[in-house]
A and B are shown apart, each in its own frame.
Chain A
């Protein structure tokens, strides 16, 4: 598992790509986080914590290790960027009861990570009630300088929207081979975050759900590689 392996690697071994949304500069980190150096702002999206437990509650006994794994990567991201403010863009937990039933050791990990910084939990469709028993503030959306943070991208939204929800992934085709990777998708006006949870899948950028969200001539997929992020233009995906 590539992202989990990164959690054990040194800073110098990990590359990132640079992008600009509504004039604000960010780096896209291969661990799946977006960071704005100028404001000390770190963004992650769709953590889907306790997904395994949520499935187990419905009779599918998926491994109970996904929350640990996701938090381990998140801790490494915190350590790498030491942000002042963390925004988690919704679907923080896989279901409504996830945050209250979370095992104590995982809760402790989050409490430790949040120490000394602000934390905003944006609500998502999986966790519309927000989180319980965790540090930080719950909000439906957040405006910050030229940017708006919400879970689900809004059609016709103002410039500077940063959203999640769709779990974008891009498929690159070259010489009858194809590579599919999660990606940060942006046309410079809007950015959609890849999902951060280790047990979350992706949705192809060509899917109808992305229609109308981007100016495709400027759309760039920052595809997550083994230890770096590769920016590829949407039109260049087909080779």
Chain B
């Protein structure tokens, strides 16, 4: 049942007296969606509330709990134990703390007698113990804490009285493994408290039905929560930055736009500048300071910076002391800011939902439009920004579907449930299937996961005596020993970080020796630091630093004066284009009548492309071939995103090699794919020695993919994550091990051993599934290959086309995998021989 709110609010009578008086005293009216949600909740329904930021979503979510608790009145001393009434779950620790503050205020003003407490990783042990003995009425927490709480022997008592569970920012929670674990937690809560109702709070999403189903048990078919939708506020005013300076052909730094960005900061009260990667954040921050002639307070915020430093920036922001903050996705969600009146987005927004979310950060009043400026970093990004802009105007959101539940997550959950209490396999299977991501899980797969949790699930049954959980005579599964429960608690959660080292600032004295005890600036991935030699410079925490070495478990760095730093090359920094924007970009390219909306230089670029080559129709894929230097190039323009292109590049070079076209390498960007080789691929196509339709046939996703995948480092990285989440490899904890190196190495070695001896092991299956879905974008690639069948447009050229320039500029920046490592070794060994011959 769906309710759209547009008219006058009704049903104020639903509110207890204290609420009505409070609203009256404030001169406010309860919002229609708040009352509507309350009404549905009172009718015993679970509800999904979709509302834009600033619509009073949080208060609405708590309305059923607060009114019910107000009516219940004060608990009399000496009454029986009472469990938690309402559980609130947020993706961010900071958000939970923020909500506590925001909720305490109206509760205090209304004089309600109820207790609200947070429980996060930072909560002291004493308080946690006390919370178990005497739970608060409302507990604000995170998905990981929920997993810990339900894996506890006291869970039944603690959650037995639970009435509501409120999920904040639900749209951002459900798509990840974290959401899978949370869905299993929710399934358990339903069992512990059968009358419990779920309330989801979400920003606008493409498919609300997915979220509605997520909230309720799937044991009945078509079950879904009710929904309340609040229409969006004023439309945001979004523009693309106009700059006198030339928009670069390629790259991501947007350096050309910095002076214009600075002028905008000066013209506004507070500006949030969003970028896509941490290295981009460092670069933009650095460049802004070089033009900051007025010494405006401009700060930097990203996930690698020291937590204390981040808190300082957040506090200064809340007090309106800053004029601008350069931030990554760490500021995408939640926390209310002061008076942000402008959002600048550097680089293409990589998805319409993401853009909408970020723009929502500006101006938290519904009736006034948010102001946002997009800053494309290169010419293709101009097209992408324009497509994003169109997407936002028609409010087409593109949050990915939640997907099938991951098996490594299930393995973790199974172990947790054994820690809570003995379980029967049949009952747990039914419970698990009530969670949306696992609704289609087969019994056979469930049993393999159970076997994995017990003895590792190996075909070679040599670990039975070391089983972590065992089925007893009564048919119930129990943990074998207390150690298992302890291990489970230490390894909980689905977020696996790559090994990081603290970066400590040190001073060098005149003799060049290094002092101790400077401040810790934050953390950087170990693999990046290991690629540095002493004296190398890099940009971090807004400073140019000189690498001095690694001492124990810290990286030491001193102030550098170099102007040309290496920039931290963080993992996960490259986002794929969403399919929706890819379509928009293709549409824009194909439709000349729309080009007048593009900046002059970009329009010229496309006009020249139109003259010397061709622009493909919306349904076509263009392939250009041309010679350049001593090489022959083939450039394809699928616009499906870097991940899909990288996979495609690997597969195409394998095929070209087999067809005898002697490819040498390839490079992939978000927009196109360039392959170069020794033979004239255009000539081969013209002479029909190379069949384009055959080259791009979907069957490449069969054997070629399998063969390549097994060798791919991507799979090893995915395996490591799966192995940690599933509990095969223990998570590292601070101070426990010197570095993460050992975990990394052993995960690779375990992968190799397992792959060579038991390629069908459940964890390898989980790894392949995950890699195919996420890292390699196989699905998108498959859809693309189907789409272009019969629509490949080949254009042989004498020389490079305007559209091909950006990708040619990327060559050399990307390393080519494969046999490159071996040739590097051979080269170094020859050095030794040469030295020896000279000696």
Binding site for B on A (CB under 8 A): 1, 4, 52-53, 56-57, 59-66, 68-69, 103, 171-174, 176-179, 181, 198-202, 220, 223, 225-226, 230-233, 236-239
Contacts and interface: CB of A to CB of B under 8 A. Distances in A.
A230 B826 CA distance: 6
4 tightest Cβ-Cβ pairs between the two chains A and B: A61-B456, A1-B752, A201-B745, A65-B757
Contacts of B533: 173, 238
Contact of A202 (B468, B745, B757, B832): B745
A63 B754 contact: yes
Nearest to A229: B829
Nearest to B457: A61
B750 A199 contact: yes
Given A64-B462, A69-B757, A199-B750, A59 B828 contact: no
Contacts of A103: 462
Nearest to B829: A230
A65 B753 CA distance: 7
B728 A62 contact: yes
Given A62-B750, A64-B463, A198-B749, A225 B825 contact: yes
B756 A56 contact: no
Contacts of B460: 64-65
Interface in B727-747: 728-730, 741-742, 745-746
B831 A232 contact: yes
Contacts of A65: 458, 460, 753-754, 756-758
B593 interface: no
A66 B757 CA distance: 9
B530 interface: yes
Contact of A171 (B530, B742, B749, B757): B530
Nearest to B744: A201
Given A57-B466, A232-B831, A172 B825 contact: yes
A59 B729 contact: no
B832 A179 contact: no
Nearest to B487: A59
A226 B818 CA distance: 12
B827 interface: yes
Given A60-B729, A181-B825, A225-B825, A232 B757 contact: no
Nearest to B749: A199
B824 A172 contact: yes
A167 to B, nearest CB: 10
Nearest to B467: A61
B6 interface: no
Contacts of A223: 825
Most buried by A among B463, B483, B754, B758: B463
Contacts of A173: 531, 533
18 contacts: A1-B753, A53-B463, A56-B466, A59-B466, A59-B484, A61-B468, A61-B728, A62-B728, A181-B825, A198-B752, A199-B746, A199-B753, A200-B749, A201-B742, A201-B745, A225-B822, A225-B825, A232-B825
Given A1-B755, A198-B753, 19 more contacts: A1-B756, A56-B463, A59-B468, A59-B484, A60-B487, A65-B460, A65-B754, A69-B756, A172-B825, A177-B821, A199-B746, A202-B745, A223-B825, A225-B825, A232-B825, A233-B831, A236-B835, A238-B533, A239-B828
A8 to B, nearest CB: 10
Contacts of B824: 172, 174, 177, 179
A201 B749 contact: yes
A10 B807 CA distance: 43
B815 interface: yes
Contacts of B827: 174
Nearest to B746: A201
Contacts of B455: 61
Nearest to A180: B530
A207 B474 CA distance: 54
A172 B828 contact: yes
B832 A231 contact: yes
Interface in B751-788: 752-758, 761
B468 A63 contact: no
B828 A174 contact: yes
